[in-house]
Amino acid sequence: MTIDISTLGDCALITLNRPEKLNALSFAILAELDAALTEVDKRPVRALVITGAGEKAFCAGADIDELRGRTLVEQKSSAEFGQAVFERLSNLRIVSIACINGYAFGGGLELALACTFRIATAHARMALPEIKLGLIPGYGGTQRLPRLIGEGRATELILTGRTIGVQEAERIGLVNRIVDGDAVEAAIAFAGEFTAHSLVALQLARSAVARALDLPVNQGLKVEADLSTLAYQTRDAEEGMAAFLEKRKPEFRDE
């Protein structure tokens, strides 16, 4: 297996374990990742952290050797499968954090983009370099990057294929935080900032924000009103308001 799954406190940890290939995304690894997400969904965890083994790379992108000599049908099928796996990650019931501990190129950056948040070490480097191979991103990069950092910046990065460091990545909103020391520990600590909250409320909030990207403001406000109303009906909301009035810490049950 080239993907490891473990549990650290409230978090599941998925590690791409192919350091000799800079954790490149082969088709087999994508299938393993799909299976790993199924396993994570069964575990009583409150967040997911994804990282890469070794000190050089989070994930250096697709395995180029596998991409040559394929038929049109095979190429389209593989692109759609990769998109489906990353969309599944994006829609996971729990928040996900990409712990970028080195190179995140091509499909590797697209994997990080599918996560809810991204943190990065000081030596991390990011790019969508497909244009340099006469290709374009195929696992969601052209769709998620503009939504995250804006059309202008995303178009520049996609059309130039240039590599950026963490300072620029943080400045343009590609990564949420730059971390020192043990990156996984930092990701677990970051997750701890929201894992104490109600999972139901977290899911509703994420859904409202996601819908905002696809709807005009007046329609998005209707969605927010609907989801906010649903939140008020949960037992966690009742507990949260009672705890506030009683000046105590709430005990959420995700109900």
Alpha carbons 133 and 142: distance in angstroms, whole number: 16
Which domains are assigned to the chain?
A: 3-191 (3.90.226.10), 199-245 (1.10.12)
Q: How confident is the model at residue 192 (pLDDT cuts 50, 70, 90)?
A: very high
pTM: 0.92
Pairing of strands 57-59, 103-105: parallel
pLDDT over threshold 70, residue 156: yes
Which of the following is catalytic: 39, 55, 80, 110? Answer: 110
Average pLDDT over residues 10-14: 96
Active site (annotated) includes residue 246: no
Q: Rounded distance, CA 80 to CA 44, Å?
A: 30
Tokens describing residue 201: 């409320």
* 130 in catalytic set: yes
pLDDT of 243 reads 87
Residue 10 CA to residue 13 CA, distance in Å, equals 10
Nearest Cα residue to 229 out of 255, 201, 198, 197: 201
Confidence bin at 1 (pLDDT 50/70/90):
low
**Cα–Cα distance measured from residue 78 to residue 131, given in angstroms and rounded to the nearest whole number:** 19
At residue 142, the pLDDT reads 95
Q: Which of 39, 80, 130, 168 is catalytic?
A: 130
* Residues in CB range of 226: below 8 A, 6 or more apart: none
Residue 164 Cα distances to 23, 62, 182, 231, angstroms:
19, 19, 22, 40
